[in-house]
Amino acid sequence: MRLPLLILLLVAFRLSSQNVIIKGTIKNERTGEAIENVAVKNTSSSTGVLTNKNGQFQITLQKQPLIKLHFGHLSFYSFIKEIKTKDKDTVYISIALKEKTNLLTEIPVYAENKPETLVGKPNYSIYDFDFYEDKLILLTAEKSLKKAHIQFSDYNGKIITSLQLPKYAGEASGFFHDYEGYTDLVCSDTIFRLDILNKEFLLMTVTKNDFNHGLKPVADSANGHYYVSNQWDKFPLFNYYFVRRGDTTNNLLSTVTNSDLMKIYNMEYYYLPSGAQLEARRLAAQYKTDKRIIAALMSGFTQSLFYEPLYAPLFVLKDTVCVFNHYTDHIYHFDKKNKLIDSVKINYHHPKNWREWKKQLFVDEYENKVYAFFSKSEHHYLKQIDFQTGKEIKTYKLKHHSAEKIKIRDGYVYYVYRPFESTQEKFLYRERIE
């Protein structure tokens, strides 16, 4: 049975396995003094170095389109820098870290743990957001996303720049954070890749074909490989592949299927009247696919309450490729060479009330933590899942029960929220996960 699959990684031929050297200096944001012993670590591997007494460091890494460096120090807030290497062999950067306040003054704030308003304006709502280094990219509109703006903001709500989307883009639907680290804005007629230059937006048009077949299928990249899927929401089976950088050969990593749903799916052909079965066979021959796929589409089964798309995401965590297969009740772990290490049992996705599990996992890539999303009695919950053992660690209840567009970063949960029966527009909030 062959599914629609077109995994064409346009960047593959432009990349090589050569290394890139990143040099930099780290200073105190407040005083301008150099900071010694800052841990500089590549977020996608275990490679790391410490800064010297002059706040300087040098790290050699395998060249990738986007490298994320994590800067950590006990006396300063951690920071992630996204570096686009392009064709450079050496990259120079300068980082300023924000000094932590006295621990005694922080304790009562964390004890209360009140949601913090990051951006909120009385004349428009925030419909989506994404992170850009130490700033935020916002999708905003006054009344309708047919007339949307993208805005660049800091964490204090200061709007640095704003740009109205061109009319030819069509209605905006939201952001997609692709595997290269870019924020892509998906609109009804156009897709834009966003970047910032001199605090101004750069809009690069991406064709729908390139987005659907070259960006969206790529779950992640690490260890010189791309991890892609041929998932189609109208079929209860798909594969994960790994593609070596510079190659276009798909190598099978793991298969995901809902066996019970597949049995019902395949029976749809036999429930069709004889004339419809004949038409299903004709269309299957025309499109070179299976008659049972055509039958399930013809019968409307994939639009019914009895069918739901598969949810089994892949994440790279601490150099380990993890496939969360909710249909075999296991997390599968693969090493750098994409060999299966082991699998661990999971059951967090089988609560007593199955409706509570919202079939969504969030990853804090800075802390390598995984959270499962649940709703109960109109409240949202995040359950931290140990990706190495599959066990539930703790549960955190969000203060605002109707939070939307949830994202997790560096120990905080971010979301868009408007109080129920309120005239307030949708604001952007965050809470520390305790």
Task: Evaluate if residue 249 carries a pLDDT over 50.
Answer: yes
Tell me the pLDDT tens digit for each residue of 260-284.
Answer: 999 999 999 999 999 999 999 999 9
DSSP state of 211: I
Q: Please state, in angstroms and rounded to a whole number, the distance separating the CA atoms of residues 277 and 10.
A: 39
Q: How confident is the model at residue 422 (pLDDT cuts 50, 70, 90)?
A: confident
Q: What is the mean pLDDT of the chain?
A: 89
Written as six digits, the tokens of 113 are: 């743990």
Tell me the pLDDT tens digit for each residue of 82-107.
Answer: 888 777 888 999 999 988 765 444 43
Task: Evaluate if residue 342 carries a pLDDT over 90.
Answer: yes
Region 299-307: mean pLDDT is: 95
Q: How confident is the model at residue 24 (pLDDT cuts 50, 70, 90)?
A: very high
pLDDT score at 177: 93
For residue 25, how many other CB atoms are within 10 A of its CB? 17
> Where are the domain boundaries for CATH 2.60.40.1120 in the chain?
12-100
Side-chain-side CA neighbours of residue 329 (13 Å): 8
Return the CATH number of 108-258+306-432, one of 1.20.1410, 1.20.1430, 2.120.10, 2.40.230.
Answer: 2.120.10
Written as six digits, the tokens of 179 are: 């595997």
Return the CATH number of 12-100, one of 1.10.3470.10, 2.60.40.1120, 3.40.50.10780, 1.10.340.30.
Answer: 2.60.40.1120
pLDDT score at 101: 63
User: Which residue stretches of 76-195 are H helix?
Assistant: 103-112
Angle, helices 291-299/274-287, rounded to nearest 10 degrees: 120
Task: Evaluate if residue 15 carries a pLDDT over 60.
Answer: no
Written as six digits, the tokens of 267 are: 């029976």
Task: Evaluate if residue 1 carries a pLDDT over 70.
Answer: no
Tell me the pLDDT tens digit for each residue of 161-177.
Answer: 999 999 999 999 999 99
pLDDT score at 10: 38
Tell me the pLDDT tens digit for each residue of 345-368.
Answer: 999 999 999 999 999 999 998 889
Q: What percent of the chain has pLDDT over 70?
A: 93
Whole-model pTM: value is 0.79
Written as six digits, the tokens of 258 are: 């809902």
Q: Please state, in angstroms and rounded to a whole number, the distance separating the CA atoms of residues 202 and 179.
A: 19
Q: Please state, in angstroms and rounded to a whole number, the distance separating the CA atoms of residues 407 and 382.
A: 11
Query: 3-state SS string over 308-328?
Result: CCCCCCEEEECCEEEEEECCC
Tell me the pLDDT tens digit for each residue of 56-83.
Answer: 999 988 888 788 888 888 888 888 888 8
> Where are the domain boundaries for CATH 2.120.10 in the chain?
108-258+306-432
Q: What percent of the chain has pLDDT over 90?
A: 68
Q: How confident is the model at residue 48 (pLDDT cuts 50, 70, 90)?
A: confident
pLDDT score at 4: 43
Task: Evaluate if residue 11 carries a pLDDT over 90.
Answer: no
Tell me the pLDDT tens digit for each residue of 187-227.
Answer: 999 999 999 888 899 999 999 999 998 899 999 988 889 99
3-class secondary-structure state, position 146? helix
Cα 394 to chain centroid distance, Å, stands at: 22
- Comparing CA positions, the residue from 418, 407, 345 lying closest to residue 373 is 407
Tell me the pLDDT tens digit for each residue of 306-325.
Answer: 999 999 999 999 889 999 99
3-class secondary-structure state, position 304? coil
Tell me the pLDDT tens digit for each residue of 108-162.
Answer: 444 457 899 999 999 999 999 999 988 999 999 998 899 999 999 999 999 999 9
DSSP state of 121: B
Cα 190 to chain centroid distance, Å, stands at: 21
pLDDT score at 157: 93
What sign does the dihedral 275-281-282-284 (CA atoms) show?
positive
Q: Please state, in angstroms and rounded to a whole number, the distance separating the CA atoms of residues 249 and 9.
A: 10
Interstrand relation of 148-153 and 357-364 (parallel, antiparallel or unpaired): unpaired
- Comparing CA positions, the residue from 335, 327, 285 lying closest to residue 308 is 327
Sheet holding 183-187, edge to edge: 172-177, 183-187, 191-197, 200-206
Region 45-59: mean pLDDT is: 86
Phi, psi of 284 (to 5 degrees): -65, -40
User: Which residue stretches of 131-207 are H helix?
Assistant: none
CB-based contact 36:28 (threshold 8 Å): no
Instruction: Tell me the chain's radius of gyration from C-alpha atoms.
Output: 23
Q: Please state, in angstroms and rounded to a whole number, the distance separating the CA atoms of residues 6 and 136.
A: 33
